[in-house]
């Protein structure tokens, strides 16, 4: 309770501070409100406006992405209610939705899986980029069921626009973006050109972002961790005959947090009145350091097992002086085939999408490959949709996935595994105007084939919703869902040291499917000067698959084992947007987002790495070509922790952005911004590196975006 009272005081202080800054605070484009009113959620099989969805949905436009751009996709989205990040430095971060991550949140590109290894480990970057996307959709709750019981946390779908689906306004259309950041001396550049030859569309696109080690306001490690390392060094000196110098802790910047990402793509499509069909090829290359990624456990283990030999080896350097820090090199080649056919028939819209990807991910030690991850995958999806009036629509579909995943080398913690999934789903909606019903059903089969065994799982997931419109301004929905999730390859076959999670991970061949009963209540209000949405959810899991400590130690790591336990997750999200009037010609509006989630294990204890109570408060001011936004991100202390994790202090980050559209006859925007104005230390509780790697310090940003 003390942490929440401190949080309330921070929230009150932020409200007061931003209220004083109201005449010069806001960053929503003049046409953003109108733009959001017509946005259709493309990720769900039912094509609905976001305010008509029965579950919680966030639609982030390209303009919002560019305004909030903050490195990787998870860090760009983490200010949305209910969304946080695994935060493994600026290069690697995967979205966490309602406290759930990894395989429980499906990371999609145009409705198909990313086909990378980001769900297997937090230090593996997502192959999808936020910059350049036309739209990003975050689906929570029942809206995600069409993508499988595994998407119990939600779906993050990046609509990257890499296959043209519409004709150009002119023969040649495109955009260019160029930006720079001070905290890491970073640069970002992106561009796209699309040529329209009477409906034959040819498109080329490129993107590059890079940065050096980023600045922080103090030490990289927490005070408690520095003291622990100091005591370890003192004990080591007492037990060693040779001289030992204590390594100075990192201060002012996070070592090995540099990164370079490059993406290039080409596409061709045919767009006609009946729909479109297109093909794209995308190449993604990345190289980045692994901050806080220590391999000292290997030497500690060697020292324990062979202490006598270790003392005799005069060439051994315990502190690894001159060694290069581990680096990661990622490469993915992805081919996509997509199309849509509109016709006058029972099913009047047919959509299909297929993707094949070859992915490699090498962890370099001293310039040599220490561990090599490979994934070759194919995924396909076909949807048949009908919409023959205002009161009835639905979609039927099938989906299939096959992928081979292997990890070879020092951290090859999982044997080669082939995963084969197939699923079929149906979702229907009947809308009577004042009230309506929506339901969905999905059946799936998963087969995991490893060297030790082959496991098969059959799952069935379903949901039913009732929604009402008591007045023109209100939309209220209640949903009951039952979902089943099959175990993943790592959960079944892992058996080895995993430095990213700082654990020796053991899978279990005896795992069964996990089942969740969940309920969600959604209420939306859309008035002339105020709009608001609130979601309350509760999920009860039978056989939740988690990574739990065994109390053992192996290879210098604590041993964690995948096993099942009954758990419950519950919480809420709220978002309020208000028109606050005008002050001296400035149109003032405000925005408040708030979210909370709690994860409990039956019999006592909390689930690990659950995000704390947090909020995002903004004031926006607009006048003519000027748009200004002042923002406060408030994160509470997290003291509801699992037995093996430490508590995390809360923090308050203040940000400001200025957006200028200087020309009336040309689409040019200039963005000036500063994040973490007060240069405060913040640590992300959901990160495995929270005690080693804080958030970046004060960061100035400039960007220019033009379209043609």
HSE at residue 392, side-chain half, CA atoms within 13 A, is 5
What pLDDT score does 236 carry? 62
Label residue 317 by pLDDT band (50, 70, 90): very low
Structural tokens at position 124: 């593996």
The whole-angstrom separation of Cα 627 and Cα 400 is 46
Q: Is the pLDDT of residue 145 over 70?
A: yes
Does residue 246 surpass a pLDDT of 90? no
* pLDDT value for 623: 95
Q: Tell me the per-residue pLDDT of 200-224, one tens digit each, with 9 for 90 and over.
A: 999 999 999 999 999 999 999 999 8
pLDDT band at residue 40 using 50, 70 and 90 as cut-offs: confident
Q: Is residue 390 part of a domain?
A: yes
Which residues make beta-bridge pairs with 523? 476, 534
- The three-class DSSP label of residue 606 is strand
* C-alpha distances in Å from residue 194, one per residue of 246, 274, 375, 708: 57, 20, 31, 10
Question: What pLDDT score was predicted for residue 410?
Answer: 80
Place of tokens 């911004």: 673
Q: Report the range of poorest mean pLDDT among 26-35, 130-139, 288-297, 407-416.
A: 26-35
Residue for token pair 């370890």: 232
Q: Which two tokens stand for residue 110?
A: 């145009």
Number of helices (H), then strands (E), belonging to the chain: the values are 8, 35
User: In this structure, what token pair is assigned to residue 140?
Assistant: 């929570």
CA distance 386 to 95: 32
Cα separation, 635 vs 638, in Å, equals 9
Q: What pLDDT score does 41 carry?
A: 77
The SS3 assignment for 34 reads: helix
DSSP one-letter code for 638: B
Place of tokens 């997290």: 638
235 is a domain residue: no
Q: Comparing 505 with 346, which gets the higher pLDDT?
A: 505
Return contacts of 47-50, CB within 8 angstroms, 24+ apart: 47/385, 47/387, 47/393
Query: Which of 96, 82, 89, 150 is closest to 125 using CA atoms?
Result: 89
Evaluate whether 627 touches 30 at the Cβ level (below 8 Å): yes
Q: How confident is the model at residue 9 (pLDDT cuts 50, 70, 90)?
A: low
pLDDT given for residue 99 in this prediction: 94
Of the pLDDT bands very low, low, confident and very high (cuts 50, 70, 90), residue 298 is very low
Distance separating alpha carbons of residues 445 and 457, to the nearest angstrom: 6
Q: Which stretches of 212-348 are assigned E, i.e. beta strand? A: 215-219, 251-253, 259-272, 275-289, 327-342
Task: Determine the structural domain holding residue 498 and report its residue range.
Answer: 2-220+255-307+324-457+467-707
- Return mean pLDDT, the chain: 88
Residue with tokens 């070509």: 625
Q: Is residue 520 part of a domain?
A: yes
Query: 237: pLDDT confidence band, cut at 50, 70 and 90?
Result: low
Whether 72 maps to a domain, the answer reads yes
Query: Does residue 232 fall inside a structural domain?
Result: no
CATH number, domain of 495, equals: 2.40.170.20
245 lies in a domain?
no
User: With 80 as the cut, is the pLDDT of residue 569 above it?
Assistant: yes
**pLDDT confidence of residue 15:** 47
The answer on pLDDT for 302 being more than 80 is: no
pLDDT for 402-423, tens place per residue?
A: 999 999 988 788 999 999 999 9
Tokens coding 552: 């053992």
Summarize pLDDT for 453-489 with one digit per residue, the tens. Answer: 999 999 999 999 999 999 999 999 999 999 999 999 9
> Which range is least confidently modeled, 173-177, 291-295, 404-408, 536-540?
291-295
Give the closest residue to 690 by CA, choosing from 252, 289, 254, 185: 254
Tell me, rounded to whole angstroms, the distance of Cα 350 from its chain centroid: 29
Total count of domains within the chain: 1
Predicted pLDDT of residue 28: 36
Q: Give the E-state strand segments of 141-274 in sequence order.
A: 154-159, 172-181, 186-197, 200-211, 215-219, 251-253, 259-272
- pLDDT of 318 over the 50 cut: no
The burial class, CB within 10 Å (0-12 / 13-18 / 19+), for 558 is middle
Domain assignment of residue 312, yes or no = no
Using an 8 Å Cβ cutoff, are 164 and 225 in contact?
Answer: no
Q: Would you tell me how many other CB atoms lie within 10 Å of the CB of residue 552?
A: 12
Q: Does residue 47 register a pLDDT over 50?
A: yes
Domain membership of residue 414 (yes or no) is yes
At 33, give phi and psi (nearest 5°).
-60, -45
Whether the pLDDT of residue 10 is over 60: the answer is no
């Amino acid at each position: 309770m003390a942490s929440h009272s401190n949080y309330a005081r921070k929230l009150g202080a932020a409200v007061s501070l931003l209220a004083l800054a109201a005449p010069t605070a806001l960053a929503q484009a003049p046409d953003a409100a109108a733009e959001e009113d017509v946005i259709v959620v493309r990720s769900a099989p039912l094509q609905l406006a976001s305010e008509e969805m029965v579950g919680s949905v966030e639609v982030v436009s390209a303009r919002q992405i560019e305004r909030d751009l903050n490195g990787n996709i998870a860090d760009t989205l983490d200010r949305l209610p209910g969304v946080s990040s695994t935060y493994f430095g600026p290069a690697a971060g995967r979205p966490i939705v309602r406290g759930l991550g990894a395989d429980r949140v499906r990371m999609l590109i145009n409705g198909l899986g990313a086909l990378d290894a980001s769900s297997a480990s937090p230090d593996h970057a997502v192959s999808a980029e936020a910059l350049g996307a036309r739209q990003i959709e975050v689906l929570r709750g029942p809206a995600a069921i069409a993508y499988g019981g595994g998407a119990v946390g939600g779906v993050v779908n990046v609509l990257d626009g890499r296959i043209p689906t519409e004709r150009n306004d002119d023969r040649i259309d495109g955009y260019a973006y160029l930006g720079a950041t001070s905290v890491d001396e970073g640069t970002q550049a992106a561009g796209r050109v699309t040529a329209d030859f009477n409906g034959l569309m040819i498109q080329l696109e490129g993107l590059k972002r890079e940065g050096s080690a980023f600045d922080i306001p103090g030490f990289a490690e927490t005070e408690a961790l520095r003291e622990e390392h100091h005591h370890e060094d003192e004990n080591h000196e007492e037990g060693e005959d040779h001289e030992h110098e204590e390594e100075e802790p990192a201060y002012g910047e996070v070592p090995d947090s540099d990164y370079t990402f490059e993406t290039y793509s080409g596409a061709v499509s045919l767009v006609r009145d009946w729909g479109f069909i297109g093909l794209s090829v995308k190449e993604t290359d990345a190289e980045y350091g692994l901050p806080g990624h220590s391999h000292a456990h290997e030497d500690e283990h060697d020292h324990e097992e062979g202490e006598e030999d270790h003392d005799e080896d005069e060439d051994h350097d315990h502190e690894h002086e001159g060694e290069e820090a581990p680096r990661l090199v990622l490469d993915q080649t992805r081919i996509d085939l997509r199309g849509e056919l509109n016709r006058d028939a029972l099913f009047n819209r047919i959509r299909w999408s297929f993707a094949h990807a070859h992915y490699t991910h090498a962890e370099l030690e001293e310039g040599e490959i220490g561990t090599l991850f490979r994934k070759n995958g194919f995924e396909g999806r076909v949807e048949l949709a009908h919409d023959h009036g205002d009161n009835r629509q639905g979609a039927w579909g099938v989906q299939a996935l096959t992928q081979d995943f292997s990890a070879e080398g020092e951290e090859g913690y999982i044997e080669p595994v082939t995963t084969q999934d197939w699923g079929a789903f149906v979702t229907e909606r009947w809308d009577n105007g004042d009230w309506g019903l929506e339901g969905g059903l999905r059946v799936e089969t998963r087969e995991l084939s490893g060297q030790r065994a082959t496991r098969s799982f059959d799952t069935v997931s379903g949901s039913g919703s009732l929604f009402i419109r008591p007045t023109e301004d209100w939309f209220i929905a209640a949903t009951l869902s039952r979902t089943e999730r099959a175990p993943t390859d790592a959960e079944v076959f892992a058996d080895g040291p995993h430095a990213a999670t700082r654990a020796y991970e053991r899978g279990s061949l005896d795992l069964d499917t996990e089942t969740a009963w969940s309920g969600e209540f959604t209420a939306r209000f859309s008035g002339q000067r105020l709009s608001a949405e609130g979601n309350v959810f509760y999920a009860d899991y039978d056989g939740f698959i988690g990574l739990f400590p065994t109390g053992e130690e192996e290879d210098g790591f604590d041993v964690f084992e995948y096993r099942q336990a009954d758990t419950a997750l519950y919480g809420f999200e709220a978002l309020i947007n208000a028109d606050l009037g005008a002050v001296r010609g400035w149109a003032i509006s405000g925005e408040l987002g708030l979210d909370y989630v709690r994860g409990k294990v039956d019999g006592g204890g909390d689930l690990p790495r659950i995000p704390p109570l947090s909020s995002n408060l903004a004031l926006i001011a607009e006048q003519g070509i000027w748009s200004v936004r002042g923002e406060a991100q408030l994160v509470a202390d997290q003291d509801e922790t699992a037995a093996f994790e430490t508590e995390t202090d809360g923090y308050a980050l203040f940000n400001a952005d200025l957006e200028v559209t200087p020309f009336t006859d040309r689409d040019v925007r200039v963005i000036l911004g500063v994040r973490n104005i007060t240069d405060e230390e913040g640590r992300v509780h959901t990160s495995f590196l929270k005690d080693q790697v804080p958030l970046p310090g004060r960061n100035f940003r400039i960007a220019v975006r033009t379209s043609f």
